[in-house]
Chain A
Amino acid sequence: MPNTKQWRLVATAVAVTLGATTLAACGSDDDSEAQSGPVSLTYWTWTPGMDKVVDLWNKGPGKEQQITVTVKKQASGDTLVTKILTAHKAKKAPDLVQAEYQALPTLVSNDALADISGDVGDAKKDFAEGVWQQTTLGTDAVYAVPQDIGPMMFYYREDLFKEYGLKVPTTWEEFAQTARDLKKKAPDKDLTTFSANDSGLFAGLAQQAGAKWWTTSGEKWKVGIDDAATQKVATFWGDLVKEDAIDNQPMYTPAWNKALNTGKQIAWVSAVWAPGTLTTAAPDTKGKWAMAPLPQWSTGEEVTGSWGGSSTAVTTDSGHKAAAAKFAAWLNTDGDALAALAKEGGIYPAASGAQLSGAFLKSPDFFSNQADFYTKAAEIAKTTAPSAWGPNVNVAYTSFKDAFAAAAKNKSDFGAALTTMQDDTVADLKKQGFGVAE
Chain B
Amino acid sequence: MTSARRTSYGVKGAPYAFLLPAVILFALFFALPIGYALWLSLHKVKVSGLGLGSGARKEVWAGIGNYTDALTDSELLAGALRVVGYGTIVVPVMLGLALVFALMLDADKVRFTPFTRLAIFLPYAIPGVVAALLWGFLYLPDVSPFYFVLDKLGLPQPDLLDGGPLYIALSNIAVWGGTGFNMIVIYTALRSIPAEVYEAAKLDGATPLQIALRIKIPMVAPSLVLTFFFSIIATLQVFSEPTTLKPLTNSVPTTWSPLMKVYQDAFGKGDIYSAAAEATLIAIVTLVLSFGFLRAANSRNKQEAAR
A residues touching B (Cβ–Cβ < 8 Å)? 2-3, 5-6, 9-10, 13, 17, 78-79, 81-82, 85, 105-106, 108-111, 137, 139, 196-197, 216, 219-221, 248-250, 252-255, 258-259, 316, 391-392, 394-395, 398, 401-402, 405-406, 408-409, 428, 431-435
Contact = CB atoms under 8 A, between A and B. Distances in A.
B49 A219 contact: yes
B42 to A, nearest CB: 16
A433 B254 contact: no
Interface string B141-156: 1110000000000000
Interface stretch (B50-58, B107-115, B187-195, B286-294): B50-58
A6 B10 CA distance: 9
The DSSP consensus for interface residues of chain A is: helix
Contact of B267 (A79, A105, A139): A79
B17 interface: yes
Given A13-B20, A409-B162, A434 B49 contact: yes
B48 A433 contact: yes
A283 to B, nearest CB: 15
27 contacts: A2-B9, A5-B9, A6-B12, A6-B17, A9-B17, A13-B20, A105-B52, A109-B51, A111-B54, A220-B49, A249-B250, A253-B140, A255-B141, A255-B142, A391-B50, A391-B52, A394-B268, A394-B270, A395-B269, A406-B253, A432-B47, A432-B51, A433-B45, A433-B46, A433-B47, A434-B47, A434-B49
Interface string B29-70: 000000000000000111111111111110000000000000
Contacts of A2: 5, 9
Given A79-B267, A250-B250, A6 B13 contact: yes
Interface in B45-102: 45-57
A250 B46 CA distance: 36
B209 interface: no
Contacts of A428: 269
B16 A6 contact: yes
User: Which of A316, A394, A433 counts the most B-chain CB atoms under 10 A from its CB?
Assistant: A433
A250 B253 contact: no
Contacts of B142: 254-255, 258-259
Given A3-B13, A258-B143, A394-B268, A316 B50 contact: no
A221 B50 contact: yes
Given A109-B47, A398-B268, A398-B269, A248 B248 contact: no
A435 B49 contact: yes
B285 interface: no
A126 B52 CA distance: 26
B72 to A, nearest CB: 13
A105 B268 CA distance: 15
A2 B47 CA distance: 57
Given A85-B270, A111-B53, A137-B52, 7 more contacts: A79-B267, A196-B250, A249-B250, A250-B249, A391-B50, A395-B269, A434-B51
Contacts of A221: 50
B56 to A, nearest CB: 7
Nearest to A262: B142
Contacts of B16: 6, 10
Which 6 A-B pairs give the minimum distances between C-beta atoms?
A: A255-B142, A6-B13, A409-B250, A405-B250, A109-B51, A219-B49
B2 to A, nearest CB: 12
A13 B24 contact: yes
Given A197-B247, A249-B250, A405-B250, A394 B13 contact: no
B83 to A, nearest CB: 17
Interface string B1-27: 000010001001100110011001000
A63 to B, nearest CB: 34
B307 to A, nearest CB: 52
Contact of B250 (A5, A391, A408): A408
A139 B50 CA distance: 12
A67 B9 CA distance: 60
A10 to B, nearest CB: 7
A82 B250 contact: no
Contact of A254 (B12, B137, B250, B269): B137
A404 B49 CA distance: 30
A433 B9 CA distance: 59
Contacts of A110: 57
A401 B13 contact: no
Contact of B247 (A5, A253, A391): A253
A220 B270 contact: no
A83 B13 CA distance: 45
Nearest to A253: B248
Contacts of B50: 109, 216, 219-221, 391, 434-435
A358 to B, nearest CB: 35
Contacts of A137: 52
Contacts of B197: none
B9 A255 contact: no
Contacts of B12: 6
B116 interface: no
B255 interface: yes
Interface in B240-266: 247-251, 253-255, 264, 266
Nearest to B23: A13
Which of B13, B51, B268, B270 has the most chain A CB within a 10 Å cutoff? B51
Nearest to B8: A2
Contacts of A17: 24, 28
B157 to A, nearest CB: 13
A431 to B, nearest CB: 8
Contacts of A433: 45-48, 51
B240 to A, nearest CB: 16
B120 to A, nearest CB: 28
* Central interface residue in A105, A220, A431, A435, by most chain B CB within 10 Å: A431
Contacts of B269: 392, 394-395, 398, 428
B80 to A, nearest CB: 17
